[in-house]
Amino acid sequence: MADKKFNVAILGATGAVGTRLIQQLEQSTIPVNEVHLLASSRSAGKTLHFNGKPVTVEEAVPDSFNGIDIVLASAGGDVSGRLLPEAVKRGAVCVDNTSHFRMDDNVPLVVPEVNPDALAGHNGIIANPNCSTIQMVVALEPIRAQYGLKQVIVSTYQAASGAGQSAINELRSEAQDYLDGKPMDAKILPVKGAEKHYPLAFNLLPQIDVFEDADYTHEEWKMIHETKKIMLGDKNAPDIKVTATCVRVPVPIGHGETVYFETEQQPTPDDLRAALAKAPGVVVQDDPSKQLYPQPLTAEGKRDTFVGRIRADVENPGAYHMWVVSDNLLKGAAWNTVQIAEELVARDLVRVPDGAAKLFN
Ligand code: NAP
Ligand code: 3JN
């Protein structure tokens, strides 16, 4: 096993996340034998590169997974729902970046800094959480582990790239039109296919994805349920109360979050800084005297989650604020996905248990 090299397929390889999956795999500790780059028929035949060598993009079909050991998937929930069971049937272990399998009881939802042991009983599919959830739980887990956690109230400031390459393009062309004094033409945000579209450039959109129960958006419900599944193993766990407001901001890359939380004990802000400073994947940037705090521009291209503005709520003992920023396409998507795959390799878990494929039929 020590010398094994893995055949890896990247599903959605041409997308905003997929291109970063290629880079993160190139920089990973995973010993790669062959890499297969899969997308839709639209991109079949295009040339991308892996470690400097050209690789032709293939149309993703069930037989694309013959002989594949690891699938890194980021081509949307419907594609994962259709193709990942086929990959598992053919013996490939899949790390899925979409929401399709996240709440399935047979599927671990994993952030390696928080719940890596959930990988142990996997059935061939492991889910990568939503980007906004990942960076929040990376910052909250060291606090929960040391001081207990009762409640979380989060507001997000989410970059355009969370909605795909087409949303980044839309933000750029709207910004140019605004500066040129022309009308802005919104066709994608806040949600592709919705009845109304609004410009994001020079604006804020308090809607990410569609509206659902209790007037929360789908993105807000994802943050609530995913946080509970990752931290407590149950999407409805009552032990930590979580509520969210998700807002799209005119930033290309890098999600910000104000996280207000209440702990069981009453640490000082310095205690919280110390707990975060030694936590894996976290970089504390918190010095008001030097105007040091995390920003999307400085987080872009990095794998870490950056935390600053840590302070107590002076009118509510045991409650605190912090500001959390991360590259949504890396720690929020491609890096977390590849990091899960690294963990599977390190733990000798790149195998599909007998009979697992039927769980996803
Ligand atoms: P994107 O830039 O629009 O890229 C979509 C990718 O999916 C492209 O490679 C596209 O290939 C491929 N694709 C589309 N339809 C396909 C099909 N029928 N068969 C095979 N491949 C197909 O989107 P993105 O931002 O990379 O996001 C992709 C997905 O990743 C999202 O839908 C979402 O599920 C997930 N995501 C997760 C997070 C997170 O929070 N963890 C964040 C962002 C995205 P073509 O080039 O052929 O069109
Ligand atoms: O909008 C963002 O900033 C994050 C978006 C994530 C996303 C976009 C389209 C589809 C997801 C996701 O991963 O939660 C999905 C999805 O797979 O449901």
Q: Report DSSP state, residue 211.
A: B
CA dihedral 223, 226, 231, 232 (to 10 degrees): 120
Asked whether residue 186 falls in the same domain as residue 241, the answer is yes
Tokens of 283: 């970089």
Could you tell me the CATH number of the domain that includes residue 45? 3.40.50.720
pLDDT of residue 361: 81
Report pLDDT digits (tens) over 92-103: 999 999 999 999
Q: Are 178 and 186 in contact (CB under 8 A)?
A: no
Domain count, the chain: 2
Residue with the smallest CA separation from ligand 1 atom 1 is 15
Position 1 in a domain: no
How many angstroms is it from 191 CA to the middle of ligand 2?
Answer: 11
Could you tell me the CATH number of the domain that includes residue 164? 3.30.360.10
Average confidence (pLDDT) over 229-242? 97
**Known catalytic residue at 131:** yes
Ligand 2 pocket, 156 CB below 6 A? no
Report pLDDT digits (tens) over 36-55: 999 999 999 999 999 999 99
With cut-offs at 50, 70 and 90, classify the pLDDT of residue 163.
Answer: very high
pLDDT of residue 3: 82
Q: From CA 222, how far away is CA 324, in angstroms rounded?
A: 18
Asked whether residue 351 falls in the same domain as residue 312, the answer is no
Q: From CA 325, how far away is CA 270, in angstroms rounded?
A: 19
Asked whether residue 181 falls in the same domain as residue 55, the answer is no
Output the average pLDDT for the chain.
97
Which domain does 309 fall in, by range? 133-328
pLDDT of residue 115: 98
Tokens of 55: 């690789």
Position 37 in a domain: yes
Instruction: Locate all alpha helices (DSSP H) within the chain, ordered by sequence.
Output: 16-26, 77-89, 131-147, 165-179, 218-232, 269-277, 296-299, 335-346
Asked whether residue 351 falls in the same domain as residue 292, the answer is no
Q: Report the residue among 83, 99, 255 best suited for mutation to probe ligand 2: largest number of ligand atoms under 8 A from its CB.
A: 99
With cut-offs at 50, 70 and 90, classify the pLDDT of residue 57.
Answer: very high
Ligand 2 pocket, 207 CB below 6 A? no
Please check the confidence at residue 2 and state whether its pLDDT lies above 80. no
Report pLDDT digits (tens) over 341-356: 999 999 999 999 999 9
Q: Report DSSP state, residue 333.
A: I
- In this structure, the strands spanning 255-263 and 149-158 are antiparallel
Please name which ligand lies nearest the alpha carbon of 12.
1
Average confidence (pLDDT) over 267-295? 98
Please check the confidence at residue 256 and state whether its pLDDT lies above 80. yes
Position 256 in a domain: yes
Asked whether residue 260 falls in the same domain as residue 290, the answer is yes
Q: Is 126 helix (H, G, I), strand (E, B) or coil?
A: strand
Ligand 1 pocket, 156 CB below 6 A? no
Position 98 in a domain: yes
pLDDT of residue 222: 98
Exactly one of 36, 122, 131, 246 is catalytic; name it. Answer: 131
Ligand 2 pocket, 131 CB below 6 A? yes
Please check the confidence at residue 183 and state whether its pLDDT lies above 60. yes
Phi, psi of 287 (to 5 degrees): -145, 90
Asked whether residue 149 falls in the same domain as residue 184, the answer is yes
**Known catalytic residue at 255:** yes
Q: Are 137 and 227 in contact (CB under 8 A)?
A: yes
